[in-house]
Amino acid sequence: MKSAVIVFPASNCDRDAHDAILHVTGTKPHMVWHGDSEVPDVDLIVLPGGFSYGDYLRCGAMAAHSHIMGDVRRKAEQGVAVLGICNGFQTLTEAHLLPGALMRNAGLKFVCREVELVVDESQSAFTRKYSRGERLRFPVAHGEGNFFASDDVLDRLEGEGRVAFRYGEGDNPNGSARNIAGILNEKRNVLGLMPHPERACDPLLGSVSGRAMFQSLLESLS
């Protein structure tokens, strides 16, 4: 599996993503600077967590228009797998590669803790090693993770099996509509989620729930 992690100014989970991919899949990702115009020929592009461009204007708004995103969009449209984690998810919604928006947490506080995550959809390149209803422990760390979309869009996401993950009942950290934590695009090659799979790949960090996502990608994309 060939992969690339995009590095924006103030990304801070880019190396976590690099290490998770390297240690779980045994393949080394390219690190690609936001100012570059082309992503190398890869099977997977990761938009990492962080505070790209200092979260100016809106989280992910500047990153969505950065130089490299033209090629990310082209490759996503060609079917290359794109995984947006946390700030990467915000960037994907701002780039309209995923529907909806991520608003300020309903409780107004930055939330940094582990949450229970329930797998809602196992039929995708990202989630095939999970089973539907499986309960996972993933860390979250965000101030703007409150997923919002119109009822029509939410119904469509649910009807088409595009809600990949939900927060466990009573464990919604940010007020997200219908407890949604992660969604797929129509072609199911783009996944955005607020929790951090790349920080849940080593027992030292408290959870290994994230490993199966990278194993799924390895199996799907090799």
Partner 1 sequence: MKARVFVTLKSGVLDPQGKAIGHALDNLGFRAVGEVRQGKIIDIELAEPNREKAAAAVKSMCEKLLANTVIEKYEIELK
State the residues that interact with partner 1 by CB under 8 A. 57-58, 61, 65, 93-94, 99-101, 103-108, 148-149, 175
Hey, what are 116's tokens? 């229970």
CB of 104 to partner 1, least distance (A): 6
Which one, 101 or 208, has the nearer CB to partner 1? 101
Q: Which of 122, 107, 127, 119 is nearest to 181 (CA)?
A: 119
Annotated active-site residue 198? The verdict is yes
d(CA 180, CA 164): 8
Which one, 23 or 65, has the nearer CB to partner 1? 65
- Torsions phi, psi of 87, nearest 5? -60, -30
d(CA 70, CA 50): 20
Annotated active-site residue 34? The verdict is no
Q: Which of 80, 86, 96, 102 is nearest to 190 (CA)?
A: 80
CB of 167 to partner 1, least distance (A): 17
Contacts of 15 (CB under 8 A, 6+ apart): none
Annotated active-site residue 18? The verdict is no
CB of 154 to partner 1, least distance (A): 12
Task: Catalytic residue, from 34, 94, 198, 201: name it.
Answer: 198
Which one, 85 or 149, has the nearer CB to partner 1? 149
Question: Which residues are marked as active site?
Answer: 86, 196, 198
